[in-house]
């Protein structure tokens, strides 16, 4: 009986591991998104900001999502990304130090060289749902050994982590919103809780449980992949004019 129980649990475990990381999002592109496409044309000058508009979003999630998006836009080589926000303050301090007289004038950075963006990409995270159970499969296997009744089993949950962002593409010179759209990112994974108990005269002699949460960042990565495609599609061609 112990051997049969081990075979059954091994099969269930292989099934769970094999299904981990199932994506439910649909990619509309006919080409592999991860394939690096060499782009040599003119670029658009943009800056990126991301805000939280829901209680489940915090400054760290907004910052990491922005970093993921900036990294992806730089990788695509279609944009000149201009730093803004907290990092811009660090640049300004460095420029002020350069002009303070504490730095060799021959090596000082001239003022007035910062570039201005033509496009501001504004992202507002409006929904975050971490570790939401889509459905679960309970498994219980009773067996006897040494005069005791044992129960080995587990709960296998298909969990989804979800993030939603509303995005505006804004012409900085006029303040006009060129495009506004919604993007969703999600990541699904089998989560496993395993346990074992031995019973004799109504008492529990032992047990164990293993479980793992899904990082919201995995859903943010999926969102960024979809969002970068939408940005390329929705920025008008006349903004791509820099080499």
Q: In this predicted structure, what is the pLDDT of residue 199?
A: 61
Is residue 101, in this structure, part of any structural domain at all? yes
Q: pLDDT per residue over 201-238, tens digit each?
A: 555 545 555 555 668 999 999 999 999 999 999 999 99
Q: In this predicted structure, what is the pLDDT of residue 189?
A: 82
Specify the CATH number for the domain of residue 204. Answer: 3.40.50
Is residue 33, in this structure, part of any structural domain at all? no
How much is the pTM?
Answer: 0.66
Split into its structural domains, the chain has a count of: 1
Is residue 34, in this structure, part of any structural domain at all? no
Is residue 217, in this structure, part of any structural domain at all? yes
Element (H, E) at 28: none
Residue 195 domain boundaries? 2-26+42-110+120-239
Is the pLDDT score of 66 beyond 90?
A: yes
Question: Does residue 185 or residue 191 have the better pLDDT?
Answer: 185
Is residue 115, in this structure, part of any structural domain at all? no
Question: Does residue 174 or residue 150 have the better pLDDT?
Answer: 174
Is the pLDDT score of 27 beyond 50?
A: no
Per-residue burial over 167-195, b if 16 or more Cβ lie within 10 Å, else e, is: bebbeeeeeeeeeeeebebbbbbbbbebe
Q: How would residue 157 be classed by pLDDT, with cut points 50, 70 and 90?
A: confident
Sign of CA dihedral 39, 241, 118, 86: positive
Is the pLDDT score of 36 beyond 80?
A: no
Is residue 31, in this structure, part of any structural domain at all? no
Q: pLDDT per residue over 91-139, tens digit each?
A: 556 556 566 666 666 665 566 555 789 999 999 999 999 877 665 577 7
Mean pLDDT in residue range 22-28:
39
Going across the sheet that includes 177-200, the strands are 79-81, 44-52, 119-145, 148-171, 177-200, 203-204
């Amino acid at each position: 009986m112990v051997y049969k129980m081990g075979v059954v649990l091994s099969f269930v475990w292989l099934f769970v591991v094999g299904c981990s990381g199932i994506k439910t999002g649909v990619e509309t592109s006919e080409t592999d998104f991860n394939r690096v496409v060499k782009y040599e044309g003119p670029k658009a000058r943009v800056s990126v900001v991301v805000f939280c508009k829901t209680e489940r979003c915090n400054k760290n999630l907004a910052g990491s999502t922005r970093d993921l998006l900036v990294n992806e836009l730089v990788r695509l080589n279609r944009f000149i990304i201009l730093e803004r926000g907290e990092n811009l303050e660090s640049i300004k301090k460095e420029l002020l130090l350069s002009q303070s007289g504490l730095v060799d004038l021959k090596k000082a950075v001239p003022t007035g060289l910062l570039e201005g963006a033509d496009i501001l990409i504004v992202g507002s995270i409006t929904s975050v749902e971490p570790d939401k159970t889509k459905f679960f499969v309970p498994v219980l296997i009773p067996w006897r050994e040494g005069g005791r009744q044992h129960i080995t089993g587990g709960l296998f949950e298909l969990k989804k982590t979800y993030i939603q962002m509303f995005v505006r593409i804004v012409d900085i010179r006029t303040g006009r919103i060129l495009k506004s759209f919604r993007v969703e990112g999600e990541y699904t994974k089998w989560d496993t809780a395993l346990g074992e108990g031995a019973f004799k005269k109504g008492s529990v002699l032992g047990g164990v449980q293993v479980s793992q949460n899904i990082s919201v960042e995995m859903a943010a990565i999926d969102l960024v992949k979809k969002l970068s495609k939408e940005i390329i599609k929705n920025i008008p061609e006349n903004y791509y004019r820099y080499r």
